[in-house]
Chain A
Amino acid sequence: MEASSLSAIWLTLKLASLVTALLLLVGTPIAWWLSRTSSRWRGVIGAVVALPLVLPPTVLGFYLLLLMGPHGPVGQLTHALGWGVLPFSFTGLVIASVFYSLPFVVQPIQNAFEAIGERPLEVAASLRASPWDAFFSIALPLARPGFVTAAILGFAHTVGEFGVVLMIGGNIPGKTQVLSVQIYNHVEAMEYQEAHILAAGMVIFSFLVLLALYGRRQYKGWSR
């Protein structure tokens, strides 16, 4: 395998791990709020979170590019803070991926929180647990299956992204050249053998991920 392919695999894994961790941090409060609130903003926020499910990745990438570019508001802010501009950097790729994979993480967690219902939290309150305490000691452990699903989906979806990467990150080896882009490069250069190695690897990886996901469904009960 070529060094550039190895570097693309490494970059992809790094990106997906970082993005998954960030998504769990960002997605959990959003999912909690969506599962508990009776606010009229619930529908709006829910729809915004779900947008990447239906939008072509290029549309998302396009607007993120404008926002984070040198003339966009976010770009001007990051420039003023001395961080430079984010597009065509690994950081920019991470931010774009977080938006792109958000629904895949929020929705399983939200479903898990909704399935718990009010009762366990009321019981926890009657046992003197503050709302924060009850969240960490009851809601999080009971929603664990949802978190596992969310992490798997978020990771896998980030590994598989292409359109957003092209729009916002380009094709910079070692910085933004991820696996899916590298496959594209190989095909463009007629290096089918190299493309095959990576593409088949992706097929196997994706299958294993889905197997882990659906195989888990049959296991009911609480492992401790």
Chain B
Amino acid sequence: MKKLISTLIIALLSINCFSQNLDEIVKKHIDAVGGKDNWAKVKSIKTTGSVKANGADIKIVMLQVDKKASRQDIAVMGMNGYNILTTTEGWSYMPFGGQTKPEPLTPDDVKKSQDELSILPDFLTYKEQGKKIEYIGKDDVDGTECFKIKMTNKEKKEVTYYIDPSTYYIIKQTSKDTKDGKEYENTSSMSNYKKLDGGIVCPYNISGGFGEMEIVSMEINPKIDEALFKIAK
């Protein structure tokens, strides 16, 4: 009897710990953020947000056209900078640190960044992008024991996602990358998930090394002038 009970406890505990297989977690996550079908209808997004620094507002506007182009505009202290990425080119103009004119991304960087043009949640696109995912285990994020899933792309760049088991939202992601021999590690946290028009769900608060961005509005499928993805000559 004693053995039976202990076996049962172990069995129950292990069910508790491992019943969630990776596919299930991914499926629940996709459902939590609005589902595959709703996301399939999303072709473009315009996001407006602000980052607070010492009480000052830094305005950010992001334009995304699925698989085609993206642009971020940043307005700090009356100065305006931007990043542009398309299928063929990329530009960066960040005058805040003394940059005087836009600089192009190398063709290699443009090529490597193409996955970022996808507007869909990473767990909807990883297969077609040739990425692999792996369930690492559970890990604590800000007091919440999360599912930890690692995604690795063809160039071995790793992104680790932490999914809150109570909501199946991603609440943190970390990435590691090496560029020109230099290592980069980035961490972002997401919260304040909201349901938008068309049923998709997105975080309205994203914080990371840059500070804390509060999203003011997200427009789904707005018309976006393609000229915005070319730099002003």
A and B co-occur in one complex: no
